[in-house]
Structure 1
């Protein structure tokens, strides 16, 4: 699916309200509105807003990075259940509307998770992020990490990943961060 208008993008972002695609403590995945179970973080809408707000605070002049933070997980809605491919689905969908850089940052946010797992093993992802590494790949090998570091967008992708990991605070108003 390609997003061809701001209206389509806004509809997709609106559909993120109440949707969850993170494991609960039993390992099952939630993808629909409804009651919150133990272990559920914020819904995808809140997560998107928090990610973008953290990036706005840390990199106020980089609007494309902020937009990538807003749309990085929409692939969970485009192909429910495909955790490993969610970044690719989102990147492909937003490219026509938001451009190549935003698309590449969205695509790289999972690789950045694997990179950080390899280069900062003590850093530890968020509790929710720690539950999903196998669906998105294990820590990068040294060769993969070296190749990732050569990507011109690697640093920005790591920044996006760090905001992604931090943007899971239930009840936080992203507008006042």
Structure 2
């Protein structure tokens, strides 16, 4: 499974997106939940699976989650993974809301922001505005590794 090794690589991937849905979602979350940086970044990267494997529809949330986990940490990955129902049990709305998961409210908020962003003409700014936050969260996820450097997912 592919993974994103650095903030620079992630930004390059996100620049390849044909729309700014992730930017609008993240901007809405920044306004409604300014203290929850990981939630904002989950909104920014939640469509990454579509960019990594455009021809595949099933499993995009899991693909996006696993791609960002080594860089942005477990919570961002979990929020992305739990966001969309894909092919049944465990990964979607049912898994996020019915199992008493600690992030169930955050997933519901993320889902609502994604839906609002799809219907919104909000000027979300530019991707470069998110780089400092991406670097901050990456540094927190891996304090011994500078945020601009590659993360080795195997820890070697």
- The alignment partner of 1:150 has SS state of coil
Query: Aligned-pair distance for 1:172?
Result: 2.8
How much is the aligned-residue C-alpha RMSD, in angstroms?
A: 2.3
Aligned twin of 1:79: 53
- 1:15 partnered with 2:39: no
Query: Aligned-pair distance for 1:79?
Result: 1.2
RCO comparison, higher one (Cα < 8 Å, 6+): 2
Query: Aligned-pair distance for 1:80?
Result: 1.4
Instruction: Calculate the TM-score normalised by the size of structure 2.
Output: 0.70
Post-superposition Cα deviations, 1:15-54, rounded to whole Å, max 9, x if no partner, equal 11x2xxxxxxxxxxxxxxxxxxxxxxxx2xx101100011
Hey, what's the Cα distance between the residues in 1 that align with 2:95 and 2:61? 18
5 Å-filtered alignment, 1:18-97, equals: 18=18, 43=19, 46-97=20-71
Q: Relative to 1, partners in 2 of residues 1:80 and 1:172: Cα closer, same or farther, differing over 3 Å?
A: same
Extract unaligned runs of 5+ from structure 1: 19-42, 112-135
Hey, what's the Cα distance between the residues in 1 that align with 2:72 and 2:50? 18
Query: Aligned-pair distance for 1:147?
Result: 6.8
Extract unaligned runs of 5+ from structure 2: 126-156
- The alignment partner of 1:81 has SS state of coil
Instruction: Calculate the TM-score normalised by the size of structure 1.
Output: 0.62
Residue number among 109, 116, 122 corresponding to 1:172 in the alignment: 122
Size of the alignment, in residue pairs? 121
